[in-house]
Structure 1
Amino acid sequence: MKLSQYLDGRSILPMVPCILLATDVVAFGTHYPDTPAQAKVRHRMYWSLEQTLSMAGLPWTDCYREDRGDGVLIVAPLITPAERYLDPMLHRLNILLRHGNRGPGPRLRMRVALHCGPVHFDDYGVTGPATLLLFRLLEAQALRKTVAATDTDLAAIISDALFTEATPGDQRAYRPTTVTYKEVRKTPAWLWQPLL
């Protein structure tokens, strides 16, 4: 079912089970200090995400999106198997970023958080514990340290709920961690980095 079907009369809707994805461009203000540079990298980010989701079998138009300036929140309906959001999707996004970074100019590096759970649509967007956890994952020190310590174009963190539901076939790219940030305490999650 398309999420657009939920957008009329949002304030009375029940919670809707979804896949949630949040992104953040690494060093956005440092590497892209002016408006033209920021507009260009945002275009690359959105193009890469749209291509990646389409390759995973999820049309971009079926997703609800909220722009975050240096990132985006994407809420996707559960119309494709959860595992497609991990191995195929993350690998494809990494390949697109790596290919785009071969040209001149600053590299586009991204942090990504993935979670699954019910969200509530209201007149202002989406809310609920699943959305809150998603953004706590995106800000996790373990993910930030992974980005700082490596030269990869993409690093991701996956909630334990999504990881368990998806059961990735090749688990070598994942390592367990725990997240403590604000009200989230020692919550299990999984870090993902591309295999060399």
Structure 2
Amino acid sequence: MNIFGDAAHGLPDRPGERAAGGPRRSQHCVLLAVDVAAFTDPARTDRVQLAIREALYDVVPGAFDDCPLGWDGCLHEDRGDGMLVVIPARMPTITVVDPLLDRLAERLRRHNRSASGPHAVRLRAAAHIGEVHHDAHGLAGTAVNHLFRLLDAPALKRALDDSGGELAFIASDYFYDSVVRHAEGTVDPAAFWPVTVEVKQTRARGWVHLPHSPAGTPALREAAAPARTAPPAPPAPAPGPGRPGGGIAFFGNVTVHGDVVAGDKIVRGDG
């Protein structure tokens, strides 16, 4: 499936888009990336890693074929311990969340029933929308970079580790605000919670979702909640008449009874 070629058919080249090998293409796309958790764990030898990649290419394309997306209708690129998938514009964007995430989780559970130890597969997934460039070497662009920053977010890794499930998902702020927040049917926007993504030069907000545990966990929700700060102290009373610095200063042991204050004090007069 040549998504970029089909989408750009009949359109004039943009300035600077023509390269030696022909015109480069760009398109506003829905992007999905998946990554195998702990792929480089020392317990995973080269042979185990190859078996995991085999499982990955069974689980993910199968999940796409289980829903209206269809694997052969998407553009995909291998990323070693994961993959990048471009969803065609003709597909409803919400399909990336519903039903794809549930299909992925189901297939992961099915695989892990017969896989033990280092052969078990757990995935992180991320979705974003943006302009993607396609040249002779593959997919590139700021949107692709942002997608993989989301995928590497510590908050997403923590969500997967703490939940004990097979799959953790994060949507970009733009994806959540444009798609998830307006979704109908079985998608509940309240089942996503905001997290801060700080990876390399990126600082952004993402929205985490656990398909097997939509409410998250108390620990995860607490970690994602805005920090609670003490209310600001009331302003100091304005000084009374007289020169600056006038008044009474107490030190040592001070006793207060209503409006009566007793203790050692220094009286600063007006002159």
What TM-score, normalized to structure 1? 0.89
1:67 paired with 2:85, answer no
DSSP-derived class of the 2:40 partner:
helix
DSSP-derived class of the 1:27 partner:
coil
Amino acid at match of 2:210: Q
Could you tell me which runs of 5 or more consecutive residues in structure 1 were left unpaired when the two chains were aligned: none
Amino acid at match of 2:168: A
Work out whether residues 28 and 131 of structure 2, in 8 Å CA contact, stay in contact via their aligned partners in 1. yes
Aligned length in residues: 195
Amino acid at match of 1:193: L
Distance 1:32 1:19 in 2: 35
Work out whether residues 111 and 147 of structure 1, in 8 Å CA contact, stay in contact via their aligned partners in 2. yes
DSSP-derived class of the 1:145 partner:
helix
Alignment-derived partner of residue 135 in structure 2:
122
Query: Rg: which structure is higher?
Result: 2
CA offset digits 1:73-113 (Å, max 9, x no partner): 11222121111101311111111101211114232101111
Q: Residues 62 and 22 (structure 1 numbering): CA distance in 2 closer, same or farther, change over 3 Å?
A: same
Distance 2:64 2:2 in 1: 15
1:98 paired with 2:115, answer no
Alignment of 1:1-196 (within 5 A): 2-3=2-3, 5=5, 12-30=23-41, 33-106=44-117, 107-167=120-180, 168=183, 169-185=187-203, 187-196=204-213
Distance 2:149 2:47 in 1: 30
Residue 2 of structure 1: CA displacement? 4.4
Q: Residues 31 and 97 (structure 1 numbering): CA distance in 2 closer, same or farther, change over 3 Å?
A: farther
Alignment-derived partner of residue 234 in structure 2:
none
Distance 1:113 1:38 in 2: 22
Q: Residues 109 and 95 (structure 1 numbering): CA distance in 2 closer, same or farther, change over 3 Å?
A: same
Structure 1 segments (4+ residues) deviating >4 Å: 6-11
Distance 2:62 2:179 in 1: 21
Residue 57 of structure 1: CA displacement? 1.2
DSSP-derived class of the 1:42 partner:
helix
Larger relative contact order (Cα-Cα within 8 Å, sequence gap ≥ 6): 1
Identity across the alignment (%):
34
Work out whether residues 137 and 157 of structure 1, in 8 Å CA contact, stay in contact via their aligned partners in 2. yes
Work out whether residues 116 and 130 of structure 1, in 8 Å CA contact, stay in contact via their aligned partners in 2. yes
DSSP-derived class of the 2:164 partner:
coil
DSSP-derived class of the 2:116 partner:
coil
Amino acid at match of 1:118: E
Residue 15 of structure 1: CA displacement? 2.2
DSSP-derived class of the 1:98 partner:
helix
Distance 2:199 2:115 in 1: 36
